[in-house]
Amino acid sequence: MKDQIETIQTEALARIEAANDARAIEDARVAILGKQGSLTKVSAGMRDVPKEDKALVGQLLNAARQAITSALDSKKTALQDAQDAEALKGIDPTLPGRSVHHGSLHPLTHIRHEAISILRRMGFALADGPEIEDEFHCFDALNTPEDHPARNEKDTFYFDSGKLLRTHTSSVQVRTMEGQAPPVRIIAPGSAYRRDEIDATHLSVFNQLEGLYVDTDVSLGDLKGTLEYFLHELFGPETEVRFRPHFFPFTEPSFEIDVKLHAKGQAPKWIEVAGCGMVDPAVFDQINGSRKDEAFSPDQVTGFAFGMGLDRLAMIRWGIRDIRLLIENDSRFLRQFG
């Protein structure tokens, strides 16, 4: 058995030395050390070795196994080194390296994070909802009549099933009130879809941020203070803000909000940034009907809602004149915001 072990070791080392690729090395390992390998079979004969010879034979087996394993590792390393050297042929390691451009957050992501952070500090919680909606959550619950232009197929993306791509994230407000009794204080950022002609100020899909606060004794002063604080935090404490009376089906009274833009080289001008108002009692009635209770009774609660386009906020913040730049993924444009 001693002679067998020496013979196997000698032949194994020679076979490993002659191996010229990873497959040959693996074949050698299996043939020698595998379950049916030559050294493994010899090891199985240890039970027949006389007791007085077991220690010596065991030492020879371990020494052979270690020598073969070491030879396999050394050969693998040598072959890998040879492959690496071949791959590096013709490459000058003294050449200077090429600079790597670091990625950065998209300007819409920047403005979204900052807007959410400001409103979270005022106690608003994040809420989410489906982008494929039904007419009740997108229109009916928001007191939008059937003949309203927004419900026309020329303005809204409808599916054959009758469902639609939400035209605003106000539907998230409806779903939140259906599942949560007052007080409610939430913001709903997300995508909205409308059949707008794409130009310098319009896209068919845009990013919106809407908010809702419902509780006892919520006033118009609360609405005004909240949004003035938000816009001052976003654009700076000196930002001029004005509220203009407007009409929305779901709020009464309603307002559009403008900020005065001071663009370099241009005369200051007012830019619309948001719509807002006190929640119309008719909306609360629709919610109560859906909930089948009086949790949002107009006699007991009041509330305000607001909505703004994050794309518009980003354009004002950084003086971007064409909204299409936000979706073209031109690295030369986006690199400015890194």
**φ, ψ of residue 56 in degrees (nearest 5):** -65, -45
For residue 64, what are the contacts with CB-CB under 8 A and spacing of at least 6?
Answer: 5, 6, 8, 9, 12, 39
Cβ atoms < 10 Å from Cβ of 74:
12
Gyration radius of the chain's alpha carbons: 36
Cβ(173)–Cβ(305) below 8 Å: yes
Matching residue, tokens 């590096």? 88
d(CA 62, CA 316): 77
Residue 211: beta bridge partners? 187, 306
**DSSP characters over 114-156:** HHHHHHHHTTPEE----SEE-HHHHTGGGT--TT-GGGSTTTS
Q: Alpha carbon 243 to chain centroid distance?
A: 34
**DSSP characters over 240-256:** -EEEEEEEETTEEEEEE
d(CA 338, CA 267): 29
Cβ(184)–Cβ(303) below 8 Å: yes
Name which of 301, 249, 311, 298 is nearest 277 in CA terms. Answer: 249
Please give the C-alpha separations between residue 106 and each of 50, 110, 142, 202, 232, in angstroms, as whole numbers.
77, 6, 32, 19, 22
Matching residue, tokens 């004969």? 45
For residue 252, say whether it is annotated as part of any ligand binding site. Answer: yes
Which residues are annotated binding-site positions? 252
Which residues are annotated binding-site positions for Mg(2+)? 252
